[in-house]
């Protein structure tokens, strides 16, 4: 089954300063594969780059995908190209939705912490929780109100006190994450997507919460890729390749002409997850949970390496 879908940009609309919404519809008509809140798609862009964007909305098959894209000042070509070049009618290839940030729809409280464009998956979750009648609250922090996406749809929840907004340029205090976690009812699940500093603070605030109730998604990586200096053996072809220092497994596979899926190349999207049959990975990604890391059944080949001299991969 081809994991890539051909879509056409159907509409581009401004959501906030520097943020545009792109509506994508299947080129062939019909419906696109369904997804749940928290899912993202990878978009293939010119120059062989691939970027991940969270999907708005969620649940059930759909005739379009909607993403909100912030034009990053230090864009590596992804967001700038979409903002400058993608127009209604532009054809794109996107991967089937994947979800490493799934919503637990159980009957418990939910606290959603959003920073900047990280609000995209959390707003999809909030809408779903609201639909289910679950107890939820959201704290949405952005640099400025004019640059905060999706405010319009949130108005009634802000009024009802379910969403607390705060903006740096209005000097409103940051959400007190420790106090929020402390005062949550027993069994509450906590979700966070935002810049690195916010995620780090969130992890500290949730230090005493069981891992299965703490959910986060980063949109930029600040971890060091694993050093090279080990070998990978490919179980299906029997080939053996050396990963030298300064290279990733993904680099080496590509140089050897082996086509493997990848998108962010920073260990945050999960596109390059590869099954490990033997050997101990040196995990450097931000996708796998602590339990998944400890199981050593797979690794992200764009950034992770080996803690053993060789890895046997299911490739």
| DSSP H helical ranges for 109-264 | 119-132, 151-159, 177-183, 196-205, 249-255
Identity of the residue, 195 or 261, whose beta carbon is nearer to ligand FES in the bound complex: 261
Q: Is 265 in the site for ligand FES (CB under 6 A)?
A: yes
> Contact with ligand FES (CB under 6 A): which of 192, 272, 306, 313?
272
Q: Is 148 in the site for ligand FES (CB under 6 A)?
A: no
Identity of the residue, 118 or 267, whose beta carbon is nearer to ligand FES in the bound complex: 267
In angstroms, rounded to a whole number, what is the distance separating the alpha carbons of residues 41 and 65? 9
Q: Is 262 in the site for ligand FES (CB under 6 A)?
A: yes
Shortest distance, position 72 Cβ to ligand FES, whole Å: 17
Residues of span 277-296 touching ligand FES by CB under 6 A: 285, 287
Residues of span 199-258 touching ligand FES by CB under 6 A: none
Q: What angle do CA 39, 116, 141 make, to 5 degrees?
A: 120
Contacts 24+ apart (CB under 8 A), 248-255: 248/301, 248/302, 248/303, 248/305, 249/274, 249/301, 249/302, 249/304, 249/305, 249/311, 249/313, 250/301, 250/302, 253/301, 253/315
Q: Is 92 in the site for ligand FES (CB under 6 A)?
A: no
Q: By CB under 6 A, which span of 5-13, 78-86, 259-267, 288-296 interacts with ligand FES?
A: 259-267
Q: Is 94 in the site for ligand FES (CB under 6 A)?
A: no
188: left (phi over 0), alpha (psi -120 to 50) or beta: beta
Shortest distance, position 221 Cβ to ligand FES, whole Å: 9
> Contact with ligand FES (CB under 6 A): which of 86, 95, 271, 276?
271
Which residues sit at the interface with ligand FES, rule CB under 6 A?
Answer: 262-265, 267-272, 285, 287, 300, 302
């Amino acid at each position: 089954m081809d994991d890539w879908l051909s879509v056409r940009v159907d509409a581009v609309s401004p959501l906030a300063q520097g943020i545009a919404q792109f509506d994508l519809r299947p080129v062939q008509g019909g419906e696109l594969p369904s997804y749940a809140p928290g899912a993202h798609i990878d978009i293939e862009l010119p120059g062989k780059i691939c970027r991940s964007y969270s999907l708005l909305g969620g649940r059930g098959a759909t005739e379009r995908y909607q993403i909100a894209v912030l034009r990053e000042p230090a864009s590596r070509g992804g967001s700038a190209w979409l903002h400058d070049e993608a127009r209604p009618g532009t054809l794109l290839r996107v991967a089937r939705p994947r979800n490493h940030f799934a919503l637990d729809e159980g009957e418990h409280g939910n606290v959603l912490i959003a920073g900047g464009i990280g609000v995209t998956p959390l707003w999809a979750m909030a809408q779903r929780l609201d639909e289910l009648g679950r107890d939820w609250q959201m704290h949405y922090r952005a640099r400025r109100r004019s640059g905060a996406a999706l405010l319009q749809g949130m108005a009634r929840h802000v009024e009802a006190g379910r969403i607390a907004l705060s903006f740096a340029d209005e000097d409103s205090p940051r959400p007190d994450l420790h106090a929020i976690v402390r005062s949550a009812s027993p069994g509450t699940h906590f979700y966070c997507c935002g810049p690195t500093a916010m995620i780090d603070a969130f992890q500290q605030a949730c230090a005493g919460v069981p891992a299965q109730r703490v959910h986060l998604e980063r949109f930029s990586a600040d971890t060091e890729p694993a050093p090279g200096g080990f070998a990978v053996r490919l179980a299906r072809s029997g080939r053996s390749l050396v990963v030298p220092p300064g290279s990733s497994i993904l680099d080496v596979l590509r140089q050897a002409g082996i086509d493997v899926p990848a998108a962010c190349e920073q260990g945050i999207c999960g596109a390059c997850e590869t099954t490990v049959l033997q050997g101990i990975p040196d995990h450097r990604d931000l996708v796998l949970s602590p339990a998944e890391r400890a199981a050593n059944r797979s690794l992200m080949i764009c950034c992770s390496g080996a803690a053993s001299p060789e890895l046997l991969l299911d490739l």
